[in-house]
Chain A
Amino acid sequence: MSETRLQELYEEMLLLRHFDQLSMRLKLKDLIYSGYHPYEGQEAVAVGFCGALEKGDVLLSTHRPHCHAVAKGCTLEAVLTEMMGRVTGCSGGLGGGMQYLDPDHDFYCGSIVGSNLPIATGIGLAIKQQGLDRVCMCLFGDGASNTGSFHEALNLAAIWKLPIVFVCENNQFAEAMPAREFVACERISMRARGYGLEEITVDGNDVEQTRRVASELIERTRRAEGPFLVEALTYRLRGHYVGDPEKTYRAREEVDVWRQKEPLTRARKKLLQEGVDATELDAMEQAIEDKLETLREWALQQAFPTLEQATDHVYIPLAKGESTCQ
């Protein structure tokens, strides 16, 4: 991959890193209300996979969705203000940080672990039956791979050969449950074999690798070779939520080891080795910080939804009157 390409990917990861940090600061000031699920350390998955989708491709995400959403093309404004419960959010501020829908950008997420895999099968089915040139990507974590929904959906997608790329973003922890203790197989990608699919694992902290594999699998899915299940192995550097009791499930030293392997450090090191000027990268980072500061100031000015808005669209009014069909 060319140096310019890596630099672009690095810039996208930087944006997500700083966006995540901004969100965390807002959470600590109680301007984000629900539990906030930090994304730090997993940026190569969002940029590599979500960023590889074309407009019109559908992305289903998780309860840790904000960086997936931005990488897919949702606006920073809509994603941030959704977390802050403002009307300008993706779901008008009614969903919050764990569940919102942005149909204009074909982005959907939710806070029930594993539930998006069955929905992906329906999207895949519709794409296939309607002959559309689109694919569906479904992200989920190591925890979701233990749900019945995961297994039901993988089987259904496989027997119907649906155009879906299932991406297991294995950050090694389901809340406080380490995957090494709570997932029966060594690699989650091994579960693909049970559905007659290839076993594919990528280094989820290597953005060049995630993007290359994502693009390849998306192309193969467009050629009706899907579905695919790929495991991207990464590491959750922060707690499940801001302030969770981390010491109950992992040692500080373990986190330190993985911090050395986190994707931004790696990408930056490589760029510098390839001769990119450090001041150029620093300037890039400063520009992102400035942009996010402007975003923050704007976001704080946005209104909250009213009770009327909160109770609107519960259902669509029914048609009236008995009729004979024409």
Chain B
Amino acid sequence: MRLIRFEDWAKPIAPARREVLSATPEVDEGKPPVLFVPGFGHGAWAFAEFWLEHTAGRGFPAHAVSPRGHGGSADGSGASLRAYAHDVVQAAASLPRQAVLVGQGAGALVVERALARYPARAAVLLAPVLGGWATFGAALRGNPGGTLPAIFGGRLRLSRRQLFSRGVPDAVARGYTERLGRASARAQWQLLLHRAPEPPVGDPPVLVMGSPDDRVVPASALTRAARRYGGAPLLFPGMGHDMMLDTRWQEPIDAILDWLEKGGS
């Protein structure tokens, strides 16, 4: 717990227009809102595809935020991880009730940082890209052409093979990869080199989920992430990195909502 926050005090993040897509249940059952945070290059649209409606259908108000520079949000060139986390905290604090944060891919890295500034009700790290050399190595081996330019500030390009399982039809997968944008060069570098996040405030339960067949996040990284929060990862074999867009998208989101209904622990 760090009380002295000169960076927050002396250099607050400037506001930027944020895109938040929502789906709300027809009847308010008092369930907590769920805020989805997409990974680098993705926008809120990735969750609008299937998960938002499904979540709302099960009685949870569902929202997805695009961090600056992503999706329909304002330009975010030069944005840091701190700016992305700021966008997530702002979106969460604007909801009427205490929210659950769900971060996918590098969005999990952003959610970790947001948890240090907002007492979420619970958090889910989904196929979390928390940086580190193992993840970098896997990306270099699996997709050298898309990864190398990022070292020099170019765009990190993820391929269809990295993101989706074979079950996703080619045309559909191409449609998704064509919609991908990019994170700022600074944030991409911060994937590799960043300070460890401050501990979460309010001690929320944290669930780590992923797939052993994810070509972006090695199984060892998943286990390490889960261990940090005192648990084991919940695994969905056969799925790709973008679990919310895969053919079997319903399994992980149902698992998340079941976990929340059981009190999230």
Q: Do A and B come from one complex?
A: no
Q: Interface residues, chain B, CB within 8 Å of chain A?
A: none
